[in-house]
Structure 1
Amino acid sequence: MRLKRALAACLYVWLVLAGWVACAFAADATDSRDRDIAQFYHTAWTVREGAPGQVTALAQTQDGYLWVGTQTGLYRFDGVRFERYRPREGGDFPASSVASLYAPASGGLWVGFRYGVASFVKDDRATHYAAASGLPTGTLYAIAGTADGRIWAATFNGLVSLDHGMWKQVGPALGLPGARARNLTVDSGGRLWVATEDALAWLPPGGHRFVVATHAVGRVNRIAEAPDGAIWVAEADGGVRPAWVAKGRVEEAGPVLRLSSAGLLFDRDGALWMPTLGDGIRRVPWVHVLAGRTIGAESGEAQRFVENQGLSSDYASSVIQDREGNIWVGGSRGLDRFRTSRLLPAMLPPGATDFAMVAAADHGIWVGTKNRPLSWVDASGVATAHMNQAVTAASRDAENTWLGGPGGIWRLRDGKAEPYAPLPFPDYSGVQAVVGDGKGGVWVSINRPGIFHFTEGGWEHDPLPAFPNDPAPLVLMNDRDGQLWMGFARDMVLIRKNGRDTHIGAEQGLAVGNVTALLEDRGTVWIGGENGIGAVVDGRAHMIATKGEPLRGVSGFVRDHRGDYWANAAQGVVRISGTEMARALEDANYAAPVTVFDSLDGLPGTPAQFRPLPTAVVADDGRLWFATTSGIVSIDPANIPRNPLAPPVSIRSIATDAGTWPAGGNVELPAGTERLRIAFTATSLTMPERVNFRYRMDGVDTRWREAGSEREAIYTDPPPGRHVFRVIAANEDGVTNDDGASIAITVEHAFYQMPWFFAVCAVIVALLIWIAFLIRLRRIASQLRARLQERHAERERIARELHDTLLQSIQGLSMRFQAIANRVPPDEPLRVAMEGALDRADEALVEARDRVRDLRSHGSESGPLDVALRALAAVYAAEHTVPVVVTVHADLRGLDGLVCDELYGVAREAVHNATTHADASRIDVELRLEARDLVLSVRDDGRGIDEGVLRDGRDGHWGLRGIRERAHVVGGVAAISSRLDGGTEVAVRVPVERAFPGYHTPLRRWWRRLRSALR
């Protein structure tokens, strides 16, 4: 009884406290103030990861870079790589120990050093200020700018302002009390706040006199503005407190925190962050709740995060919030980042393992473990119930919340755990599945063959004889129709209703392996297992395909209030759109896209794969809970943190084997560049690991290249010319910076890549071709001359043979026949006939001799063609008494020898035919140039030639055919025309280029003269 009363009292106090906190905070679930500092996603960069040590100041410029000031120099960070910064123009920094940083909204960065040096950096050009510009020799504690464009600096020697390139001390002139300016800032109203050793004062926008806010300040390290406009200070000796409010009392603005803080920051949600010199970092989520109180260093109201929890160093000196909302802390050993993760870790007791989860009433979940008491867990905290029994399985139906463990079965009612029944085997170590039967009883699987059912009558055991190997269900579920679903190992599902069992397995299409999750949703039962997700519809199983790596180890599967599906899988927490899932269910070939939430989203360890099951739960308020090997995380599907800022993209450097070029302006690379490396980055500091890049180089790439998270592009043997390299990036939520960054890269031409080189090569090739052509022409001409000489020699041989054999024999025969004729009396008719035959024989001999003479003679031997033709005319006119008139209207100098011979042969044949067969009274021979042809024309006025003879020739005669053949030999065309009423014309046309090898157009004549001059 005492135990029950104590438990009830504790629960009552806890409910009252939870209600008060909820009412007091009245904050949205996404408000980071609802989180403990340990629930932020923390990342530390130490010297091992390349981070600088001894951090003294932090700032973020408009290009997204995080700047880290240290005692040994200035560094910048893009989320992946730390780079010691040296300006490209203006010279290196005159000092190395950085005391302060300020990034104006207009761009650039102010760097304040110790011992009176300041520099302004913009577009990689630095402007330095020292004593010569009026800057005091003391340390620059802080730098800030006001809306009127003035730059102010707090120095050991007082407040100074930059005016036309010169620094002037302005504190006394503006009524600022004190000789030293320890710190300054500009609030949201444009007021310039300055802390001196005597007072905290502010200068109105455009004002000319400081207004003293309070004299009650000590050595102020930092000044910060709270969301309500209150001004807070961090004092070296007095801690952190509000120092000024516009209305009301200062005490109502917040508590006094007795902490030795080296910095102050109110984040966007109003939480106060304070780095300390030796005690890590402190955070106060709700300063108004603690107004009027004094909080000590050991108070729990100021959340603490120290080196033992993963902080790079307990000695922290600076803190800022970047434009994406991340908190950055700089310390003696490195840099730390705190960001709001998508998955919220539950604040469970340390050492808890094997989480059995079930939704609680209204909101939150109940969590039972093997080694810690039963707990109620919500996004805002954890409450422990008075039940120390180990819990290995849990479920909830319309009436009861069931818990099972080695000690038996319990029911939760009004937040109290009541024993329900002991296990049927007292020596058993636990329960692996429990579910109510809807009638006040419960079904239990205890890793013994079969299933156990407890009612008022006690335990009943069903050995499930239909299954081999005596299996026990891994998961149990009651659907809305009262059917009991049992999931087993090796693709086995059993459905029991009214004592009848239905089996779903590999034969029905199920291929999930061991069944570890069951979900009923609108007539479909979803099944999760080690090989993915399946669905049972109308007694058939359908496997769901997903894009990317197939889902494995699905140990929890739920659907949120928005209709999307969530799985706790080996890859992480996976979300699948309800629309995409419906499409994948209808089309077996469709792969549904998935969104994976993994360690970068705040998932601790790996998702739990086996017992307790299930590992995913939907709470009544819609929040989803997932169990892992290292804890429990939750997410609100309706309010998932999203990064809406497109990442600024910049090109860092251009490198080749010959050296490195800064990425500014037009980069000119030497000729013969073999390997080009372009380094780029995107300053998205929340999840730089998930920033995806795409790039292309105009003139080289025909499409955008997917670089993934790689931050370098490599080109081998880039072609010469001017190219523009472009790169764009998208952050972890797919928000893309389409403008990206670009740079013009010019690769110089080698001499063999220059246009004049190609022109020279073309000329040389043309000359070589021309020379080869001339050599070929000479070879052909030589071959033609050799053939012509062979032809002439053959004609002379034939002439000799004819003269020495045939003609001599015919002459001898004629003489013998003449001797016989002389014996016949003159008056005898036989003598007359014989005399006539002898006359005919003499004529034949004369004609034969003429033919032999023609064979042995050549036109070229008689000189030019016109001379040869006139000689031929004279011979025929004398022998045949037929006038032959030769007319030449062409300059025959340079006439080809073969053409001369063939035209002479054509003329001789035509004249011979006219004198022998045409009975002509006049023969005209004409040579003329007509258009681009040399024309030889032989006309007579004798008898014409029959058309058949013109077409086919006369049997046994080869004269006409020979004329055509001669014309063809020299590339010409012969035309023979005749009229029966008188007259025949033989015309041969030869192209002048063939007839005169030296014939040229003006350009070719010019080239000929040039060639002759070069010889």
Structure 2
Amino acid sequence: MCPIECSAAGPAAKQGISQYSLTQWGHRDGLPSAAIYAIAQTPDGFLWLGTADGLIRFDGIRFFQVPLMGKGDTAFGKVKALAASADGALWVGTETGILVRIDGPAMKSLTLNLPISSIRERPDSLIEVEASNQVFRVSPATMQVTTTCQVRSASALVSAPHPPQSMPLAKVDPTECGLQSAHNIAPSILDRTHLASDQIRSILPDTDGNLWLATRESGVIRVSNTVGEARAEKEQFSVVDGLSSDSVWTLFQDREHNLWIGTQNGLNRLRYDKFATMTRRSGLLSNNMTSLAVVGSKVFAGSAVGLNEITATGAKSVLRESILSLTGGIDGTLFAGTPHGLSVVKDGRSHVVQPGVQVTQITSIAQSSTGELWFYDQHGGLFRWEPGQVAIAVTTPALQSKAVSVIAAGTHGEVWFGLSTGEIVLYNGVTFHQFTAADHLPGGSPHAISADSDGGVWIASERGLARYSGGRFTSWSRKNGLPGSRVLWAVPGPGGRLWLGYNIGVASVTVSDLLHAATDPKSLVPYDFYDDGDGLHSNPDLHGSTPVAVLPDGRIWLTTSEGLATIDPAHIRKNPVAPPVHIVQITVDDANVDVAKAITLPPRTRRIEINYTGLSFTNPRKVTFRYRLLGFDSQWNIESTRRFATYTNLSPGKYRFEVLAANDDGVWSTEPAVLDFTLLPAFYQTKWFIALCLLALLLAILLLVRFRIRSVADGLRLRFEERLDERARVAQDLHDNLLQDVMGISLQLEIADELTPPGAAGKPILSRALQLSESALAQGRGALTTLRATMVSAQDVLQTLKLTATHFTEDRHQAIRYITEGTELPLRAGVGDEIIQIACEALRNALQHTRGRVDVRLSYTPNVFTLHIHDEGPGISQPILESGVPGHFGLTGMRERASRIAATLTIESKRGNGTQIRLTVPGRMAYPDHNASPSIWGRLQARWSGTHRQP
């Protein structure tokens, strides 16, 4: 079979059947049943298979056996007929006579009690079913038979519901009963296939004008429908070509133009590939080709066995001699390096030339645009030769005694040499210039060099790709986004694209993208990649010095690990069909959930796995996906071929999962598949539970604060009890010692005063001393009383303040106004003493620094005792208020005393507006029997303030 043929029928019609890519599925691939009787594709994109063991749905990767009527394990039995109707429903016919209509999750059935052999939809939307020797017309709405009649013939059925008018088949009258019979095939078709009509099970016209025949024992036969076809009478595809069985039951072409073949032993797919291949079966002398060369519009391929010319009908042998290297000359001459030296092939004739030197291992060869031939012999080195003269050994230091791996001619007379050590040498017609890694070469041994139309030169090497332009090199490798760093070859193609050979496939990039990536380190080079999924059945390989050749029309030929491959960059058949995308399954903590119903997931769901599929059957493994979970993902996830998404430990809430798919040529589906689900919260994830937790936390904090306040208060009470004990001891000492001594002094002074005459000079002094001793005695008794007291009354406070005022003039006494507010409560003795000392200090300061009125206010409430002293004096400056007067410690002492009783002391003063002093003592500290129960917030505030002001 020829790899590339000429026909007006379309791209696929130009390609021989042996060059179609075949893929087959059987039991080892998960196919439940190997006998495939019928194939159909519904509008949602799924492929359906009627098998010996029921109905199977296929997405290109996985098979799913469909149960009958949703009854679990109950299968359809043997399914012999399938048809997809325009409304999206699938019609299934079984050997037991059951007709089933499947529309999404719904199924309806009709029992005909006769084995169903074919189904098709009529133009009037009725379903025509052939069962045994009868035809039934069924209404989709009622699932009732409307008409029944006899079949005219049913030995073979047309797989396409609407055959093209150009088909050489008898037309079907839609008003008559019966389906198209193989007996109505044009006699010319039967003559060309050498088959009897009873050997044909079904026929299928494809979209390229070919006619495909499914035979009982001869596999698949393709017949061209082109008028004046010059091709062989028939083209056959059988077990010898890789078909799973020669017993073919059905044929089907999907909307991506893939041909599906159902046989007795599995499912097969024939696909028009982007690459065509040639092997020994196509006429090559060997599958291990070493070199390629183009002469005019001809391609020559050399191997260790000989030389082939690639023709329109295959490969023709030209020379039966080992070919070490090839190059096309400028005058239509082909130069070949052989073990016998240098050979020339022209006009179908070959002969060995005598360059004047002994050469037997010419591994690299090229002819410059000036006519000079450069060749490298592994034993003799590098030579330059002009026809008719003696070859001259190149002795330049840049090339002498160095192994040359590749030689390439430029477009302006220059010649490029790649050295096995990684250097590149340029001969510009006059001098040789050597380039090394310091000139930004990627490094590694060069594999191929080619020039482009812009004057640039591309170097493919072991460690990357390089381009020489404008006197400098630019390099790219895997780090720039290329598929790999080891580049076997690089050749320019049409449309400003560069084609790169790798040992895993072929990449196509735009030169503009390469140049952009060279200037932007963050930019990665986008590329199209072709591998076995595109018809490149064997990997690109490097056996010789010229592994690739480009024809003038842009078609590329390359050597592979098994034969040759070719692609036409200008006529690559793209797949324009966007793949429908479906969500097929959701697994929640290892349990499957029905995606057809509203999904509500239970609380404490840990792991959610969503399985989806994209229905592109041309190259299913290259279908890429991107997805996101609204409510969790902020953007689309990175594109990948993975067909599932996993989420763990999601928070409760409502979510929407969206997924898009792209086919092998990057055509994306327009609408995403959507799955909505709600994840219920556990009781501890509900709002009321969170509110209760917050309330419990708040109560715990309050209890902790309360406990802390009580602890501090208890500590203060113990300290005050200790102070009371100390006061009792001091009072006892004061009574037993100091007061007794003062009383004795006072008696002695009285006696001295009585004995001193009234007119004596010391009489006044003695009288004054007597008064002071009596005053000291009175004050001592007062202090004793105070020390012995366990409570301090308001009267005690006021008397002390009035006694303090006596040290000032009479007019200042009159300026003081004493006010008592609230029901008087006795003050704890120790606390009362501190309050009195603070009040006395504040009153002394007010009387000393003001000439106006002074207000002293005592305020009793159950929760707090307040002392307020206000004067109308000039006020206290801010520096003195903050730091006090140097050498004076009145304000400091007041603050210290307030801190000791857990009280709050506030001093507010402005120049010219007087001073206000407020002492606030918590009731628990001020009163010995504190029993108040007003606002808890007030108590907490007061206690907490007191707690944090402990010394």
The answer for the alignment partner of 1:740 in structure 2 is 672
Q: 1 CA distance for matches of 2:321 and 2:888?
A: 134
The answer for the alignment partner of 1:206 in structure 2 is none
Cα distance 1:200–1:855, how it changes in 2: closer, same or farther (>3 A)? same
The aligned amino acid for 1:675 is R
Cα distance 1:54–1:425, how it changes in 2: closer, same or farther (>3 A)? farther
Q: 2 CA distance for matches of 1:910 and 1:435?
A: 115
Aligned with residue 506 of structure 2, among 553, 564, 573: 573
Cα distance 1:988–1:162, how it changes in 2: closer, same or farther (>3 A)? same
The answer for the alignment partner of 1:800 in structure 2 is 732
Aligned with residue 41 of structure 1, among 10, 21, 24: 21
The answer for the alignment partner of 1:140 in structure 2 is 116
Structure 1 unmatched ranges of 5 or more: 1-13, 131-135, 204-208, 213-219, 224-232, 244-249, 292-298, 978-983, 1008-1015
Tell me whether 1:901 sits opposite 2:877 in the alignment. Answer: no
Q: Deviations over 1:326-360 (max 9, x none)?
A: 11111122111111111122473155234333224
1:553-952 superposed matches below 5 A = 553-583=486-516, 592-611=525-544, 613-706=545-638, 708-824=640-756, 830=762, 834-835=766-767, 837-860=769-792, 889-892=821-824, 897=828, 901=832, 905=836, 927=858
Q: Deviations over 1:341-399 (max 9, x none)?
A: 111224731552343332243x4423343335632334xx3252554444443322331
The aligned amino acid for 1:158 is Q
Shift of residue 464, structure 1, vs aligned partner: 3.5
**Do the aligned residues in 2 keep the contact of 1:728 with 1:737 (CA within 8 Å)?**
yes
Q: 2 CA distance for matches of 1:472 and 1:871?
A: 121
Q: 2 CA distance for matches of 1:403 and 1:964?
A: 111
**Do the aligned residues in 1 keep the contact of 2:3 with 2:277 (CA within 8 Å)?**
no
The answer for the alignment partner of 1:544 in structure 2 is 476
The answer for the alignment partner of 1:274 in structure 2 is 213
**Do the aligned residues in 2 keep the contact of 1:671 with 1:750 (CA within 8 Å)?**
yes
Cα distance 1:184–1:684, how it changes in 2: closer, same or farther (>3 A)? closer
Tell me whether 1:323 sits opposite 2:267 in the alignment. Answer: no
Q: Deviations over 1:707-751 (max 9, x none)?
A: 611112222322222222222222211212252212123233222
The answer for the alignment partner of 1:10 in structure 2 is none
Aligned with residue 352 of structure 1, among 252, 261, 286: 286
Q: 2 CA distance for matches of 1:466 and 1:105?
A: 77
The answer for the alignment partner of 1:152 in structure 2 is 128
Cα distance 1:506–1:449, how it changes in 2: closer, same or farther (>3 A)? farther
The answer for the alignment partner of 1:122 in structure 2 is 103
Cα distance 1:666–1:253, how it changes in 2: closer, same or farther (>3 A)? farther
Aligned with residue 59 of structure 2, among 66, 78, 86: 78
Cα distance 1:158–1:303, how it changes in 2: closer, same or farther (>3 A)? same
**Do the aligned residues in 1 keep the contact of 2:903 with 2:922 (CA within 8 Å)?**
no
Shift of residue 158, structure 1, vs aligned partner: 1.9
Aligned with residue 920 of structure 2, among 976, 982, 990: 990
Q: 2 CA distance for matches of 1:49 and 1:508?
A: 52
**Do the aligned residues in 2 keep the contact of 1:141 with 1:182 (CA within 8 Å)?**
no
Tell me whether 1:487 sits opposite 2:418 in the alignment. Answer: yes
Point out the more displaced range, 778-787 or 416-425.
416-425
**Do the aligned residues in 1 keep the contact of 2:446 with 2:460 (CA within 8 Å)?**
yes
Q: 2 CA distance for matches of 1:376 and 1:44?
A: 30
The answer for the alignment partner of 1:369 in structure 2 is 303
Q: 1 CA distance for matches of 2:186 and 2:78?
A: 31
Tell me whether 1:470 sits opposite 2:447 in the alignment. Answer: no
Point out the more displaced range, 682-691 or 497-506.
497-506
Percent of residue pairs bearing the same amino acid type: 26
Give the SS at the match of 1:115.
Answer: coil
Q: 1 CA distance for matches of 2:831 and 2:266?
A: 103
Point out the more displaced range, 996-1005 or 835-844.
996-1005
Q: Deviations over 1:561-601 (max 9, x none)?
A: 43322233323223221323444677799764433322222
Q: 2 CA distance for matches of 1:469 and 1:784?
A: 104
The answer for the alignment partner of 1:165 in structure 2 is 142
Cα distance 1:553–1:955, how it changes in 2: closer, same or farther (>3 A)? closer
The answer for the alignment partner of 1:4 in structure 2 is none
Aligned with residue 185 of structure 2, among 229, 232, 241: 241
Shift of residue 874, structure 1, vs aligned partner: 14
**Do the aligned residues in 2 keep the contact of 1:448 with 1:472 (CA within 8 Å)?**
no
The aligned amino acid for 1:241 is I
Q: 2 CA distance for matches of 1:688 and 1:448?
A: 51
**Do the aligned residues in 2 keep the contact of 1:254 with 1:290 (CA within 8 Å)?**
no
The aligned amino acid for 1:60 is Q
Point out the more displaced range, 635-644 or 511-520.
511-520
Q: Deviations over 1:536-572 (max 9, x none)?
A: 3466444334633564554433222433222333232
Give the SS at the match of 1:808.
Answer: helix
Shift of residue 657, structure 1, vs aligned partner: 3.3
Point out the more displaced range, 390-399 or 259-268.
390-399
Q: 1 CA distance for matches of 2:92 and 2:639?
A: 35
The aligned amino acid for 1:44 is Q
**Do the aligned residues in 2 keep the contact of 1:544 with 1:591 (CA within 8 Å)?**
no
**Do the aligned residues in 2 keep the contact of 1:654 with 1:661 (CA within 8 Å)?**
yes
Q: Deviations over 1:98-142 (max 9, x none)?
A: 111111232131111112212222222322322xxxxx2001222
Give the SS at the match of 2:628.
Answer: strand
The answer for the alignment partner of 1:435 in structure 2 is 366
Q: 1 CA distance for matches of 2:58 and 2:472?
A: 55
Tell me whether 1:263 sits opposite 2:202 in the alignment. Answer: yes
Structure 2 unmatched ranges of 5 or more: 805-809, 941-951
Cα distance 1:927–1:252, how it changes in 2: closer, same or farther (>3 A)? same
The answer for the alignment partner of 1:202 in structure 2 is 173
Give the SS at the match of 2:651.
Answer: coil
The aligned amino acid for 1:26 is A
Aligned with residue 274 of structure 2, among 342, 345, 349: 342
Shift of residue 815, structure 1, vs aligned partner: 2.1
**Do the aligned residues in 2 keep the contact of 1:109 with 1:121 (CA within 8 Å)?**
yes
The answer for the alignment partner of 1:524 in structure 2 is 456
Point out the more displaced range, 614-623 or 91-100.
91-100
Cα distance 1:96–1:845, how it changes in 2: closer, same or farther (>3 A)? same
Cα distance 1:816–1:508, how it changes in 2: closer, same or farther (>3 A)? closer
TM-score (norm 1): 0.77
Cα distance 1:736–1:72, how it changes in 2: closer, same or farther (>3 A)? same
Shift of residue 837, structure 1, vs aligned partner: 3.8
The aligned amino acid for 2:134 is G
Point out the more displaced range, 388-397 or 569-578.
388-397
The aligned amino acid for 1:359 is V
Point out the more displaced range, 269-278 or 323-332.
269-278
Cα distance 1:848–1:104, how it changes in 2: closer, same or farther (>3 A)? same
Q: Deviations over 1:449-504 (max 9, x none)?
A: 22345556554351646368834543333334434433332224444466754434
Shift of residue 783, structure 1, vs aligned partner: 2.2
Instruction: Give the RMSD, CA atoms, in angstroms.
Output: 5.0
The aligned amino acid for 2:220 is I
Shift of residue 33, structure 1, vs aligned partner: 0.6
Shift of residue 757, structure 1, vs aligned partner: 2.0
TM-score (norm 2): 0.82
**Do the aligned residues in 2 keep the contact of 1:372 with 1:388 (CA within 8 Å)?**
yes
Shift of residue 695, structure 1, vs aligned partner: 1.9
The answer for the alignment partner of 2:242 in structure 1 is 310
Q: 1 CA distance for matches of 2:838 and 2:387?
A: 140
Q: 1 CA distance for matches of 2:352 and 2:848?
A: 145
Q: 2 CA distance for matches of 1:961 and 1:446?
A: 107
Q: 2 CA distance for matches of 1:868 and 1:747?
A: 73
Shift of residue 57, structure 1, vs aligned partner: 0.8
